[in-house]
Structure 1
């Protein structure tokens, strides 16, 4: 079975479905921890979040590197526009929005005079949930520099793997997450043909793929709940195994139209990633104040759904309006000529 591609957009369906699974897991993480912290106890979704921890972000970063080979040899100006300025624009915009929303809380901690300082601090220490799009441009630049300097790819990969295995905990998000995640991004770039071959093999042998997923789930769950998943080497192996499992699962899910909503979330993953915090927090506050939901786990699920659907609703509401700049980078925020006309869809985080 060939890799499904949507005719209108030439997007690879299993890639979008995998990204959809990843963004759902990210929102679920923040929703679950937010609810549990507010009520002071854990719910049944805590188990799901713990199970997904070894592979949630490794898969996201691996997929983000898959299509880099197509553009890495562009001149620096065009490359920087697509892979650095693009994410910097959305980071600065949504970091400011998040800071404004959280200003009363920050003022209570630091005083109103300290709020601008928190904005300045966010230029070097990623703010809130936005660290992923802060780190992606760094990965893009480092990968291109390594290629231009003709550093052997195997040497780059071995250093990246060593950094993940170390592990490194400085307390500063940028070096810590770079060390923990770059190996997955670089692997996506380096081994993209093999990743696509894995998806093709899973599509051709769905029952064998499903059996492999069952074995993986058993091993991953055993190591997680035995407290071994964060051990050196084990964490690296689980990260790659989980990333492969999500790719295989996504390939199987695209066989049915029932899972199109997941693909749609992945196609617009950056929209969800940027905006989910607002409907997520609002829904959590309403549920906690009204007490209409007693189950912590169920509350986490409701907050997760509200975060995802709310983010998409915000995007749908502003499309074609003066607020379109919230999700579509305007011409003035480009440093190179655009490859699509004004009003084109948001460039995906790929």
Structure 2
């Protein structure tokens, strides 16, 4: 049971991170080549649930850590992501701003400073997760129904300040919170899908048709381009899609042929951190040299580069001097108070 649960969670993470890479790849290729391909349709189909599912899965295991002391909690849930955000912010900033031909140093430094308060590029998910973790721990004694109602109201409200942190917090927190609060029911859903695969497949088919109808049906409102984006309807499609990801991931948990998906999910952080550079490089190579005429095929190649190259880089560096790219060094960890006290005592004795 435990292995199956871990397998489906890795599958769900793999699906989510691939959909994120696909979205950035397809839209970037489409803009550069002036057209759309098959992946654009898949990106549009996944839009109602892509990010909700990502945060929903991220909240599932919070109950194991939320009662830890604040120092341990901050180390695991804040310092961990802050390290990777700052490291990969610097890497992306070097390529996108500082090292570009003709770049103005003052402007580039200003962008770097701004990125400390305004999430930089594709790293906004890593920036927002620690805020979710801290907010949930601070609010854990608030009655869950009240928390859910407030979070749902934030999602439905048209909050657009222009600052990504409050805007994305309002739009996404309800899914993270729900993953935390309903984790036992989510695991039960996954187990039910594995026990009754035919019923699960029928449910997924019905969901897919409903999601497609809502995701591709336009509205007359400029701020809400599709039915799936309407207030309250976005909540329904977000949660339905997250449940579909869970059920689909569970159905794939026992298939040896899906080992590659589980591997992607087990290393989803490496993919998320590292996909930008190979994605951008592959897109530039294809567009500049006119290597592929089809927007759909180009989008697929760029997506594969964005997923595979970070995984290869992670494998190459995990035992060498560059392992700090995907593994936080001990020097960037908050040692427990007992450990720090013991180290001070040992230093005093040595002196």
The structural deviation recorded for 1:211 is 0.2
Matches of 2:149 and 2:92, distance apart in 1: 37
Matches of 2:319 and 2:202, distance apart in 1: 46
Matches of 2:99 and 2:157, distance apart in 1: 35
1:114 aligns with 2:113: no
Paired residue for 1:211, among 189, 202, 205? 202
1:126 aligns with 2:125: no
Matches of 2:289 and 2:304, distance apart in 1: 18
User: SS where residue 229 of structure 2 aligns?
Assistant: coil
Question: Which 4+ stretches in 1 moved above 4 angstroms?
Answer: 104-108
Matches of 1:33 and 1:112, distance apart in 2: 29
The structural deviation recorded for 1:105 is 7.7
1:83 maps to 77
1:160 aligns with 2:143: no
Matches of 2:155 and 2:97, distance apart in 1: 35
Does the 8 Å contact 1:4/1:13 carry over to 2? yes
Matches of 1:325 and 1:337, distance apart in 2: 21
Does the 8 Å contact 1:107/1:115 carry over to 2? no
1:241 maps to 240
* 1:11-60 deviation per Cα after TM superposition (whole angstroms, max 9, x unaligned): 71000000000000000001011111111222221110000000001111
1:311 maps to 310
Choose 1 or 2 for highest CA Rg. Answer: 2
Paired residue for 1:55, among 45, 49, 57? 49
Matches of 2:94 and 2:213, distance apart in 1: 42
Matches of 2:99 and 2:44, distance apart in 1: 28
The structural deviation recorded for 1:255 is 2.2
Matches of 2:238 and 2:126, distance apart in 1: 20
Matches of 2:262 and 2:231, distance apart in 1: 33
Does the 8 Å contact 1:228/1:234 carry over to 2? yes
* 1:268-313 deviation per Cα after TM superposition (whole angstroms, max 9, x unaligned): 0000000011111111111112222110011000000011110111
Alignment length, in residue pairs? Answer: 329
* 1:70-114 deviation per Cα after TM superposition (whole angstroms, max 9, x unaligned): 110000000000000000000000001000011258775x72221
Matches of 1:335 and 1:252, distance apart in 2: 39
1:345 maps to none
Matches of 1:175 and 1:61, distance apart in 2: 16
Does the 8 Å contact 1:170/1:176 carry over to 2? yes
Q: Matches of residues 331-346 of structure 1 in structure 2 within 5 Å? A: 331-337=330-336
Unaligned segments of structure 1, at least 5 residues: 6-10, 339-350
1:74 aligns with 2:68: yes
Does the 8 Å contact 2:71/2:336 carry over to 1? no
Does the 8 Å contact 2:7/2:262 carry over to 1? yes
1:40 maps to 34
* 1:222-277 deviation per Cα after TM superposition (whole angstroms, max 9, x unaligned): 01110201000100000000000000000111121111111110000000000011
The structural deviation recorded for 1:337 is 4.5
Matches of 1:72 and 1:207, distance apart in 2: 37
Paired residue for 1:178, among 155, 163, 169? 169
Matches of 2:100 and 2:156, distance apart in 1: 35
Paired residue for 1:194, among 174, 181, 185? 185
Matches of 1:284 and 1:310, distance apart in 2: 14
Q: Identify the range of structure 1 (20-29 vs 281-290) with the bigger mean alpha-carbon deviation.
A: 281-290
Unaligned segments of structure 2, at least 5 residues: 218-225, 338-351
Does the 8 Å contact 2:228/2:237 carry over to 1? yes
